[in-house]
Amino acid sequence: MAKKTLSAIGTASDGIARTPSKSQKAFNALIARIEKRRAALAEWEVFGADFQRRFNEEFTPLLGRFNAVRVELVHRLDQAYDTKGLTKVERRTIGELITHIAGKLMASIDDPAIAELHQRYRTHDPEAEAAALDDRRRMLEAVFGASIADDVDLDSPDDVMRYVREQTHQQYEREREHQEARENYHANRKKSPKREAAEERARAEQAEVHLSIREVYRKLASALHPDREIDPVERERKAALMQRVNIAYASRSLLDLLEIQLELEHIDQAALDNISEDRLKRWNTILKEQLSDLEMELGEVELGFLIKSRMNPALVVSPKNVKRALTATINDIRETIKGFEQYVRVVDDGRGLKPWLKQMKWHLAEI
């Protein structure tokens, strides 16, 4: 049986165009937005398989090679530090290179030897370090629109994104707790008759909302209960449909339940066009909750791809942009590995070490 989707309601009657009511307009808008979010999630799911394959087969091995060649360079520089004929400036440049590269490595791998070299060559300039750290923190805070704590490792994109995600979730929880506290405060206050009446109406409306989705569920459950079916083929079909119904009801997905009713021809477009305003309002309340859940799920999916692809957080997160970002990241790492392999050869050879150190002194931040 082909899956059916809801069409806009209240736009035509017996072939004659008409203006939908306010509740019908809201219903149509919610359905359209939910379908858009569903389509986006489906697109990410299809895209995710190819993305994960490339991530595992291309990016992960390259990252391992990149870390390995950086580790090798740090050790070669450490060995070159005592080379005869080097000036104090050149030795200081070697120390700065070791500190810089080792610092970045420590954000990716756990290597005690690299940590020891970083500590040994590190020159402590509290004011300069604090100023540089503050600049980077302000830049990241401007991008994400959130404060970043002092203990977050700004050299690790994963740590920064994880912290931002945790802060967003905590902010949501604080707002929810604040709202609950306000509701509890008002609930414990002596209420005026007018307020008690308003709260009673709100409770009644919430109960009606629950009953609305339960009513649809019970009608489907009654029609699809597989134990009442004698024919084994039909019993299997109903069992599969009942599984969809149960999943939809558990997630409060009114849209899925209505679409199953359409598939089974329990309702048709004419019936939907004539749903009462009161029922539509209750349905719209449920659909708003479903839309909110979908938007939260979509946000989590997009954030995951943003972190893995290492794309610019200021860009729109879409499969096209994520694919482009991953490709750019893979190509950048390949080229960077070639550069670091050349650095290792230069340091090993020794004859080009002095000119190379002079050049690297001015390009330290770029490696």
What pLDDT was estimated at residue 47? 96
Token pair in block for residue 93: 């440049």
Whether 99 is covered by a domain: the verdict is no
Cα(30)–Cα(261) distance, rounded to whole angstroms? 19
Count, in order, helices (H) and strands (E) of the chain. Answer: 13, 2
Block residue for tokens 């950048």: 332
- How many domains is the chain built from? 1
Q: Tell me what pLDDT residue 129 has.
A: 64
Longest dimension (CA), the chain: 96
* Residue 234 C-alpha from the chain's centroid: 41
Residue 341 falls inside a structural domain: no
Do the domain assignments include residue 265?
yes
Q: What is the pLDDT of residue 8?
A: 77
Residue with tokens 């597989």: 226
Contacts of 118 (CB under 8 A, 6+ apart): 98, 99, 102, 103, 106
- What's the whole-model pTM score? 0.66
Estimate the crossing angle of helix 254-263 against helix 232-250, to 10 degrees: 160
CA gap 66, 110 in Å, rounded: 15
Residue at 45 is within a domain? no
Within a domain: 302: yes
Q: What is the pLDDT along the chain (367 residues), one digit of tens a residue?
A: 556 677 777 776 556 667 888 888 998 899 899 999 999 999 999 999 999 999 999 999 999 999 999 999 999 999 999 999 999 999 999 999 999 999 889 988 999 999 999 999 987 566 766 776 787 778 777 766 678 888 887 767 677 777 877 877 777 778 777 777 776 766 666 556 666 655 555 555 555 556 677 888 788 888 777 777 777 888 888 888 888 888 888 877 877 888 888 777 676 777 778 887 888 888 888 888 889 888 988 988 998 898 889 888 888 999 999 999 999 999 999 999 999 999 999 999 988 999 999 988 877 766 7
pLDDT at 88: 92
3-class SS of residue 148: coil
Structural domain harbouring 213: 207-313
Please report whether residue 273 resides in a domain: yes
Cα dihedral 84, 85, 89, 93 sign: negative
> Does residue 227 lie in a domain region?
yes
- pLDDT at res. 53: 96
Burial of 255 per CB tally in 10 Å (0-12, 13-18, 19+): buried
- What pLDDT sits at residue 238? 81
In a domain, 219, yes or no: yes
Q: In 3D, which of 67, 63, 78, 121 has the Cα closest to residue 348?
A: 78
